[in-house]
Amino acid sequence: MKKRLAGKVALVVGAARGIGAGIAERFVEEGANVVIVDGLKAAGEETARKLGGIFVAADISRKVDAEAVVAKAVSAYGGLDILVQNAGIYPWTLIENIEPEEWDQVLAVNLRGTFLAARAALPAMKARGAGRMVFTSSITGPRVTSPGHGHYSASKAGINGFIKAAALEFSHYGITVNGVEPGNILTDGMKEHRSAAFIRMMEEAVPLGRLGTPRDVANAVLFLASDEAAYITGTTIIVDGGQTLPEGKDFRLAPPE
């Protein structure tokens, strides 16, 4: 059976660990040549070593870095077929306490980084006459939110708007642009920084009864990056175990009267 991404060149930004590493792993399993990009040098090098890909240290919020990582993929593998921009930061600060500098930093990485990655990848994909761009958004912002995530919510809602605009503009070049909206994903970072009680509380809010895994998100990204999604553009896939479905707190089939 032919692998779905056999011979494809993929650039995965924010892939040192967590969801991004899961995406890079699925791509390698499906035959892609993967360039892993992240600001976390040691973790990124380790992930690239494990997967057999190339690692490039970069800050995707900087134009020169975005262009450099695309150039690296093209020079290493002769072109670029798939871009995944997964890099994101999510400090917790109430709106009344967010300093403009913190606001700018969150939007620089999450939203400006999305724009710069797409802009840098566009010429290489135009040269191919085809391409797949997939961006990691979130249910936080486009669907729901919580206190302390004003800047993060704004950045992720902005990504959804950008996806639609880019999908329309890039359709002429045979390039599709889509995204995924993960819910609560049980990454190593969550395990390290969240209590067991918090994780149980979040699990109880998910109809499927568990938090997602990086692989759950990676499988959705893989689909959008594959030929199977050739006629899909300008949309997002929610990967949240049904978390955003309930009208209220109690979603049992027979709640108490």
pLDDT band at 212 (very low <50, low <70, confident <90, very high): very high
Active site residues: 152
Fold designation for 9-239? Rossmann fold (3.40.50)
pLDDT band at 254 (very low <50, low <70, confident <90, very high): low
Q: Does residue 257 carry a pLDDT above 70?
A: no
The predicted-structure confidence for 114-160, as pLDDT tens digits, reads as follows 999 999 999 999 999 999 999 999 999 999 999 999 999 999 999 99
Q: Does residue 256 carry a pLDDT above 70?
A: no
The predicted-structure confidence for 18-73, as pLDDT tens digits, reads as follows 999 999 999 999 999 999 999 999 999 999 999 999 999 999 999 999 999 999 99
The predicted-structure confidence for 72-83, as pLDDT tens digits, reads as follows 999 999 999 999
- Sorted by where each begins, the domain ranges of the chain are 9-239
The C-alpha angle with vertex 64 and arms to 58 and 66, in degrees rounded to 5, equals 55
